[in-house]
A and B are shown apart, each in its own frame.
Chain A
Amino acid sequence: MVGGTGGGETITMSTHESAVHAADAHAAPQGFIRKWVFSLDHKVIGLQYFFLALVAVFVGMFLSLLMRIHLIWPTVALPFFGEMQPATYLSLLTMHGTIMVFFVLTTAPQGGFGNYFLPIQIGAPDMAFPVLNMLSFWTTFLGFIVLLAAFFVTGGAPLHGWTGYAPLSALRSMPGEELGADLWITSIAIFCLGALMGALNFITTTLDMRAKGMTMMRMPLTVWSWFITAILGLLAFGVLLSAGILLLMDRNLGTSFFVPLVTLNGQLTGHKGGSPLLWQHLFWFFGHPEVYIAILPAMGLCSQLLSVFSRKPIFGYKAMVYAMLSIGFLGFMVWGHHMFMSGMSPYTAFAFSIMTMGIGVPSAIKTFNWLGTIWRGRIRFHSPMLFAVGFVSLFVTGGISGPFLAQPVLDIYLHETYFVIAHFHLIMGVASIFGIFGATYYWFPKMFGKMMNETLAKLHFWLTFVGAYAIFMPMHYSGMAGQLRRYSQGTEVAWIKALTPIQVFISIAAFITIGSQFIFLFNLFWSMWKGKKASDNPWEATTLEWITATPPPHDNFGGRTPVVHNGPYEYSVPGAPKDFVMQTDPEIEPAH
């Protein structure tokens, strides 16, 4: 009999099927290096990913802070950069986007929480390939270091934007586009390799290592989201890698894949015949699925949280699964909507437009099911729930501008404006970040054995929630008014100068929102040492991570493998002794 707690009570774990062979459990490594640095334990690797993303997000935020300062005080001298030149602004923009997309939005929800909780939630003792898992983290880490190195080389960081459009990115045309751009491409290529290793592990683990009784349709939606995200990564990162190889060849071997006949400083470059649009096609074939790579894990987590804290089963479990699969599938069909400006045939644009709006259908299914889940629920407004509700709000707000941008005619006007910034920051950036915050507050007790301070968490939520809207809602208006993105200054133009008060408001909102993230940071580290001790199942949730000890032992379940009898969201089951039924409890007859 092994003690665990469910709902504050001790639950009994039957071991009648066979005796425990404690010696079978592989021993946990004892040395610091093997335990915490080159660890094979998926939980440690998950934490490594989490802290890497944490460092990355603060670096990325710092860069955005500098940009926002410059936008309203263009002549002020900034730390490290002095009085900012337009090229410097572009390099900050490039690095901000790259760091946030790759090393935060892709790394934290998938590499971090996915690594930590996917094996536990399916009842597995580890990932399928632990050595590969370790390699995937250190490859990603190397990619991050190579990217940051671009700041310190001659010419500085690249300025071609996170999309790396050729021919700007393919020519050594100016400072930043020299070694810094090579490092940028190399970093992305390294990241792709790390992400592919991770995806390989996620898919194999999910397909091959589920506990007895853990059928696909009993998997938590978090697991489904990590699984689908891994498939997207598997299909998308190979294409980005190929594009990166071609770009490096154009830059260093004189090939002309992406560079047409072009003069630089009045001289022919030697390139000819290449197609900048080819880069765009290859990049966006990766780039649009990347949006879902960032947000699908947050969708899965949000589903989990809404069910747990509403004390209700998820509304339409199968519909949620099929909606995520549909979103993943359609995500590969719509890359052209990023290229309406490229002069593509209107018929092609129409096809991409229709497909893009088609994604609204599974997205709406998910949204209505989230609302259906909390409808008449006995809602517990703990901080994870606040972030889950915040996610739904941001997803809807950010998503609703999607159909506008999916119209080629509207997009041609809005594409280069702040409207697009507002759209993708809300839906891809902030919504996903809310998923990450929700995951942190929800799983922190399991990961560290302590509770985070709830008052600070709620303060952090409200400041971030209001702050995010204060930053990005006005951008819709300034975008519609014609405020151009990527420009460090535009105040020489009268109608752009007239928008300055909006810029000032956005910057002040950004300062406050960024400042409030230090509340989170303080709460995170303070709670690790001083937080209230957490029970094994503080949220009274049903999935497998809550049947094991807190924090989980080295092999997750103390030498046993759970046997699953129930779905992941059995709450408020009529006739059940408690309002939740663990997945390992004796099978119940679902009443829904």
Chain B
Amino acid sequence: MASFSTTATVDDPRNTLGDGEILPPVLTGGGDDRSGPGMPDYATRLRRARLGLLVLLVPIFMLFVSFTSAYIVRQGLPTLDPQTNLLVKDWIPVKLPTLLLVNTFVLLLSSLGMELARRQFRGEAVLASGDAAPKISSTEQSKMPWLAMTLVLGLLFLFGQWTAWKQLAASGFYVSSTPSSSFVYLLTGTHAVHLMGGILALFVASIAALFGRALARRSIVIDVTAWYWHFMAGLWVYILCLLEFAR
């Protein structure tokens, strides 16, 4: 006799507050863009999305670990000077534009805004369920446009990075000028591409309201994007330190 069970599929955002709650297995997959009857409940989808994000961060981490190892190896390599037939260093340290510090401040500020947006959406999701949980403070239920602020700051950061690139080029450091400048463009560019992914996710979550998407689903997108955003902020600080202190 084989045994089976069926599971409830309640789309109840209140479950998100039940940290550590062990939920029964669910009827369908659908941690991404699906909803409707038969879908797992909110808590399960949030937990699954967070786990998926954690797994996603691993290859991104490995990508930058790989770039870092290449950076260190390449920095120590000599090259043959065809004029003198001697081994010389072709690594010319790049003086980073001061603008990058401003950009760093902007990104960290956006990370703060992202966290406030995440808490705000979580609070709204709970309120929408009709039963405010004691964990939700009045701040979290405020109507401040944290998400819009994060989006604007994210775009401002990207614009700042673009401007920093132009400043680098103006000072004679192009992508192929010296291996150190190659790495500056590589690391900042790859980070920017990843941040664009976060901006895209926020943009989708923002306009999803216009198409009547459930608040619970948008809340999940905001939540995982927030953790991704924080990772991107931390990653940027690491990249800046690498480029500045390991020149």
Interface residues of A (CB under 8 A from B): 2, 4, 6, 11-21, 23-26, 40, 42, 119, 123-132, 196, 199-201, 203-205, 207-212, 234-239, 241-243, 245-246, 249, 253-257, 260-261, 268, 272-275, 278, 281-282, 285, 547, 555, 557, 559-563, 565, 582, 584-586
Contacts and interface: CB of A to CB of B under 8 A. Distances in A.
Given A13-B2, A261-B82, A268-B82, A249 B175 contact: yes
Contact of A128 (B4, B29, B59, B60): B29
7 contacts: A23-B38, A204-B48, A234-B59, A238-B62, A260-B79, A261-B82, A273-B79
Contacts of B90: 256, 272-273
Contacts of A200: 52, 55-56
B36 A254 contact: no
Contacts of B79: 260-261, 272-273
Contacts of B91: 273
B9 interface: yes
A278 B29 contact: no
A275 B63 contact: no
B66 interface: yes
Interface stretch (B70-78, B95-103, B165-173, B208-216): B70-78
A433 to B, nearest CB: 27
A145 B137 CA distance: 53
B115 to A, nearest CB: 24
Interface string B1-12: 111111101000
7 closest A-B pairs by CB: A126-B29, A273-B79, A584-B2, A238-B62, A254-B176, A238-B59, A242-B66
A15 B2 contact: no
Interface in B1-47: 1-7, 9, 24-34, 36-39, 47
B3 A278 contact: no
Given A125-B28, A235-B58, A562-B4, 17 more contacts: A13-B3, A17-B6, A18-B5, A18-B6, A25-B28, A26-B30, A126-B30, A128-B51, A131-B33, A209-B25, A238-B62, A249-B186, A273-B179, A285-B66, A563-B4, A585-B1, A586-B3
Contacts, number: 224
Given A42-B29, A275-B74, A257 B190 contact: no
B80 A119 contact: no
A210 B25 CA distance: 7
A560 B5 contact: yes
Nearest to B33: A131
B206 interface: no
A17 B3 contact: yes
Contacts of B25: 123-124, 209-212, 561
A122 to B, nearest CB: 9
A136 to B, nearest CB: 12
Given A24-B27, A40-B34, A237-B59, A565 B3 contact: yes
Contact of A26 (B2, B36, B190): B36
Nearest to A562: B4
B4 A253 contact: no
Nearest to A211: B25
Given A24-B37, A563-B3, A585-B2, A242 B63 contact: yes
Given A126-B30, A237-B59, A559 B6 contact: yes
B118 to A, nearest CB: 20
A242 B186 CA distance: 10
Contacts of A246: 70, 186
Contacts of B176: 253-256
Given A14-B1, A26-B36, A561-B27, A242 B67 contact: yes
Contacts of B70: 242, 246, 257, 278, 282
B142 interface: no
